[in-house]
Structure 1
């Protein structure tokens, strides 16, 4: 029955699933021999560390083929199926060894081995270490997505044929993405107070086994308090060392969690909240010193795409994969809030509105039979600001303006625009709250939309799996994404992948590629050769580019990009100015409660989305916003991702002109009148004031502080 469940069914505890499992089990027993069923089971079972099947586990834990393992090592792997995490020889060596010895004892009792073999095996010191690729250490969510995609393409044979999966993920970006996400979550957690010890173990003889059985989660190590003073704690850490956590290492100004919106006053003594035997969490500083922390309850997701072709460069589905395997990047549908507004505004710009169009930011009341109560939408803070230009409404995230804009456009026109951007509107309600991001989407769907904004209006499709190579070095699958180019030759916007990779020699490019490999492989066999893969990649023909469809014209793309740059220059994303780049644009998002915090943004090099929230949709705190919870993660990640990337300033396209307007009315003014400068499509140019020359003077160059 486990074969039926693992190959064909989900693992949710449902009656219908169990019933289908029974029927499938009977069918499998009719069609296959017991040996074939056992073979399927042995090659499918998850055995920890992204190893699926016993042959893969032999490679991951011991770096050997299954046939080369010792008796003790075979027994160790045989103990994994019951609990791959609890009996993992790397994370829990003591418990895993106990399990190994029990299995050896059973083998002796059943006469499968002799007593000398038994005594030699139990005396053998286990040498399990991680033998996977470096990128796997930081990308378990990626590895699981790739595994599912490979199985979908090639079926169960993928477990036994020694396939190598090469992803689009950049290993350096991925590592920095994990660090940025974890740092952002822990910063949020510290702002909301300390919730106390995880557990209390009074019996000192149980401290060492408990530490061995308690896994680290992300950068958080378990430790047990062995002595408490007013200003310090003595701790036993996971490696059984004894160390001191001083007052300055997280105890000073420590406040206790009371609710998501309140904390206690700072503690005056460690004796107030800690006791001997408390199981707590600590983090390591770069100098290996420790400071107090705790397991966070809040979660997050981070995903970054190459706007040119949709390649996923970074994907982090949660704080720690072993803590929660739920991939929030592609599975968590959450309301995006104001993070969705750019797509409403882009539709408006494509429908005749301009950045200077005036919408009245005034109270509005809706009595709708679809709603349980009268709806009175408000801006954050409850204030209204009167007639407002669309540009200002977007960078200040004015809710009422967005609602009135959607109502003026109508749902048919809006849905048509959203469909062209790649969103599935079939389930979207004809509800004005859509303008505020009430329709739930995944972070990957949002990031894909922002990639379109970053690449000048082309609809690209995200993809993670780049190539699959068999054990003989044959490329049996290669992605062929549509790319942001029209036509696909010659212009800066249409650089080939070869041009975009710089001037690296072929060998250097290959070495970088191999450092980025995210490999989920079964039994490689003795004939498996990395050299054959290298040679295969060298001789692989260049992929012919397929142009991606345009989702918006270059003029609309330029205007919305200009407006989103203002979010960072003078709006809710001002913290990102610390990156000191002129090619950044983006938008914050915060939902009612607040329950979700978002920031999505981009440069021409990369589009990224960060989300923070609780899995159960509980509130994150009244003082938390997209700009406080999600934006710091995005900034931390993009600072490293763009560190060696030059700024790319988008050129002003044809049929876009700059004229001087009145910032209050949005109307055009004469060159000698006070005003600000704004971009317009030539077909939407506001009328020149009476008595002035037609059009703006070509020698009127605005000062930087006078623009917008």
Structure 2
């Protein structure tokens, strides 16, 4: 029987009650079936928890200086594992406020949030409501996919219960905060702090912590680099929740809201010290031993590099390469692009052009948008137009001339480089095309102190320190003079510096001094100091090419790369900068061969030493390759070069008496060198083009490489005492010059008549026309 109300038949109370009972029974039956399914089918098939109970995070390979400064990191995942006890309390609160406010109250499932999620799913369809706790997210992240299907959610719930039974709340939170992906290849909050803010977790402000706490929900949508507006909105929501939960005071809340955030827009973990070539060499060495484990097992490599030395080497190389480039004029824009009239299309064209040209440490790519009288406006892609005026236009003045060719003339659409000075003024510049290298070693052990393999690693990966085989020019002469000492020559030996022409087998060769001047009879000391080519060739001819060629092996040179003719004295063979540094180390350390080495030790994630380099013991007879007397005399001659000769600027600018070295300039100034030492450090600087060509008619090793060397040494020697050398046994002074005792007869210095034309082996005369070196 039904009651009638307003003409509409309503069900009776008994019928309604019956319906509720039936619905309740159905729900109970469903719950029982679901529970049976979960415990009888799902639970037995859950994975074991070994992966989290014995958690081994994928920690990348890290490379450090000797003084513990991070200079490189390699691995698909940027990750810093931080024990939960070291995570700032406010960072935990920021995360829990937005992700799981009742984390410490529930047992893996927050039924309050779950109820809200169910209602949201009923209204908007499955997958719309989340309700996942931190424990459930750990389960998903370690064991499941992010696929939004019911079966995955059921597995997630059961795994969360299993995890809660196996681990403490702090252990679960530790897993979460170290494992979650937070964008930009960063895993875990410590890594994200470095990626987005360049800071450790302990130094983050409340505002910065709130920004990171907002990332787990959707690292792409809330990424402060790619989506700053959405990231800011998410951060404000986190701060609001923190205030509602009374995690922060009203004052802290308002201060955090107002704080401007300085995001590292490149999204890379920054390194204070530029040592990219060092880090790559270390990576190669570790990979050769540990293969793919290198990038995931938390291996750390401690190099012999010193931060202060590396910083000085990098800055000096960059500064002097740019100085050389500026001396030789503006080459014009890197390219030109069409500039659409429609603003949005124009912005897209500018962005596309700039994406192809990464910045080079202050040399910023920009597109010219306007050229007016005395002013150039450029767009660097950050939305802020850069106006270049006055002195900032001086370097590019030829490109602003009405007579400038189309290839260099500045106009809208020109892609250029600009830089900013300390006062904030912009100037037009360019990326140098010339290459350079610098390396310094501990003279006694061979340990690297600094290495700069090129102008910019991001523009060119080729390491000129270890891979560039170049002609050393006159930087090779000291090794010929060293060979001469073993044959009875002394610094006082007279060499006739007069024109020399040799004929053999129909070949004619007449070497020249670089200034085309001849001084007549000169001492061997003076010949080296002034880098006299003809005198050096005369010495080599007197010694014999074969003998001298064999002698060079004492210094670690590859004999196959050295010529077997008289141009050997002028440095026409091939050497690398690090090979040259190792060779000069023998003069610096008393005659001991050193093997340059970069890695001090390799340790695993637990700190266990996997490899340790044992440097050679000082004054070990096993490493002695050169008579200590020879090294002492050559040191005195190389100090003369740096005091009165072609390297005189080195001693003058550094103000030390223990500076020794030699310039090197090859024919047509294709390569410029300076190799030398002081204070127990041996260093080599080089400059040249990768495709060999002249560096300029007015350029020499003293103008190209020596300024790099001096600028570096000014820093490297600042804390090192001057080196004094003890006179080795078997060496005496005769008329003020050093001579081996066995070459002293009753008449004093043994006479060597170099004016006599010694026969010349036809094979020793080069086929080339005159070769100049300095």
What is the TM-score of this pair, normalised by structure 1? 0.67
2:283 is aligned with 1:147: yes
Report if aligned partners of 2:679, 2:717 keep a CA contact under 8 Å in 1: no
Aligned to 2:451: 315
2:435 is aligned with 1:299: yes
Matches within 5 A, 1:278-289: 278-289=414-425
Following superposition, the deviation at residue 482 of structure 1 comes to 1.5
Aligned to 1:244: 387
Matches within 5 A, 1:96-245: 125=231, 132=269, 134=271, 137-201=273-337, 202-203=339-340, 204-205=346-347, 206-208=349-351, 210-211=353-354, 214-245=357-388
Counterpart selection for 1:433 from 563, 567, 573: 567
CA distance in 2, matches of 1:253, 1:119: 43
Aligned to 1:672: none
CA distance in 2, matches of 1:207, 1:361: 61
Counterpart selection for 1:556 from 619, 624, 630: 630
Report if aligned partners of 1:254, 1:266 keep a CA contact under 8 Å in 2: no
Aligned to 2:116: none
Aligned to 2:605: 471
Aligned to 1:629: 704
Give the 3-state SS of the residue equivalent to 2:668 in structure 1.
coil
Q: 1:71 to 1:166 in 2, by over 3 A?
A: closer
Report if aligned partners of 1:591, 1:597 keep a CA contact under 8 Å in 2: yes
Give the 3-state SS of the residue equivalent to 1:282 in structure 2.
strand
Q: 1:90 to 1:611 in 2, by over 3 A?
A: farther
Following superposition, the deviation at residue 279 of structure 1 comes to 1.9
More relative contact order in 1 or in 2 (CA 8 Å, sep 6+)? Answer: 1
Aligned to 2:737: 678
Q: 1:229 to 1:356 in 2, by over 3 A?
A: same
Aligned to 1:575: 649
CA distance in 2, matches of 1:631, 1:118: 50
2:730 is aligned with 1:655: yes
Counterpart selection for 2:639 from 565, 580, 596: 565
2:189 is aligned with 1:53: no
For each residue in 1:251-275, what CA deviation from the matched residue of structure 2 results, as whole angstroms up to 9, or x when unmatched? 169557xxxxxxx999999999322
Aligned to 2:499: 363
Aligned to 1:665: none
Q: 1:119 to 1:468 in 2, by over 3 A?
A: closer
For each residue in 1:653-707, what CA deviation from the matched residue of structure 2 results, as whole angstroms up to 9, or x when unmatched? 33333343xxxxxxxxxxxxxxxx32333333475589xxxxxxxxxxxxxxxxx
Following superposition, the deviation at residue 175 of structure 1 comes to 1.1
For each residue in 1:466-525, what CA deviation from the matched residue of structure 2 results, as whole angstroms up to 9, or x when unmatched? 100001110110001214424xxxxxxxxxxxxxxxxxxxxxxxxxxxxxxxxxxxxxxx
Report if aligned partners of 1:554, 1:653 keep a CA contact under 8 Å in 2: yes
Counterpart selection for 1:616 from 664, 673, 691: 691
Matches within 5 A, 1:71-82: 73=183
The runs of 5 or more residues in structure 2 that have no matched partner are 1-58, 62-70, 82-173, 188-194, 199-216, 233-262, 341-345, 750-774
Following superposition, the deviation at residue 142 of structure 1 comes to 0.5
Report if aligned partners of 1:611, 1:630 keep a CA contact under 8 Å in 2: yes
Matches within 5 A, 1:193-592: 193-201=329-337, 202-203=339-340, 204-205=346-347, 206-208=349-351, 210-211=353-354, 214-251=357-394, 254=397, 273-368=409-504, 374-486=508-620, 549-576=623-650, 577-592=652-667
Name which one, 1 or 2, has greater alpha-carbon Rg: 2
Report if aligned partners of 1:357, 1:389 keep a CA contact under 8 Å in 2: yes
CA distance in 1, matches of 2:221, 2:427: 44
Report if aligned partners of 2:368, 2:416 keep a CA contact under 8 Å in 1: yes
CA distance in 1, matches of 2:607, 2:456: 33
Give the 3-state SS of the residue equivalent to 1:397 in structure 2.
coil
Report if aligned partners of 1:582, 1:649 keep a CA contact under 8 Å in 2: no
Give the 3-state SS of the residue equivalent to 1:482 in structure 2.
coil
Following superposition, the deviation at residue 562 of structure 1 comes to 0.7
Q: 1:686 to 1:191 in 2, by over 3 A?
A: farther
Following superposition, the deviation at residue 236 of structure 1 comes to 2.9
Following superposition, the deviation at residue 176 of structure 1 comes to 1.1
Aligned to 2:680: 605
CA distance in 2, matches of 1:604, 1:391: 22
Give the 3-state SS of the residue equivalent to 1:329 in structure 2.
helix
Aligned residues: 524
Q: 1:75 to 1:338 in 2, by over 3 A?
A: closer
Q: 1:297 to 1:652 in 2, by over 3 A?
A: same
Give the 3-state SS of the residue equivalent to 1:235 in structure 2.
strand
Aligned to 1:99: none
For each residue in 1:92-122, what CA deviation from the matched residue of structure 2 results, as whole angstroms up to 9, or x when unmatched? xxxxxxxxxxxxxxxxxxxxxxx99987789
Cα RMSD after superposing both structures: 3.7
CA distance in 1, matches of 2:330, 2:733: 54
CA distance in 2, matches of 1:619, 1:116: 56
CA distance in 2, matches of 1:301, 1:638: 15
Aligned to 1:493: none
Aligned to 2:123: none
For each residue in 1:211-267, what CA deviation from the matched residue of structure 2 results, as whole angstroms up to 9, or x when unmatched? 4553111331122333323333233335333333222235169557xxxxxxx9999
Report if aligned partners of 2:581, 2:683 keep a CA contact under 8 Å in 1: yes
CA distance in 1, matches of 2:401, 2:352: 35
CA distance in 2, matches of 1:72, 1:457: 55
Give the 3-state SS of the residue equivalent to 1:330 in structure 2.
helix
CA distance in 1, matches of 2:498, 2:623: 38
For each residue in 1:38-62, what CA deviation from the matched residue of structure 2 results, as whole angstroms up to 9, or x when unmatched? xxxx999xxxx96543224799xxx
Q: 1:265 to 1:550 in 2, by over 3 A?
A: farther
Report if aligned partners of 1:455, 1:484 keep a CA contact under 8 Å in 2: no
Q: 1:186 to 1:267 in 2, by over 3 A?
A: farther
Report if aligned partners of 2:562, 2:572 keep a CA contact under 8 Å in 1: no
Following superposition, the deviation at residue 314 of structure 1 comes to 0.4
Report if aligned partners of 2:396, 2:428 keep a CA contact under 8 Å in 1: no
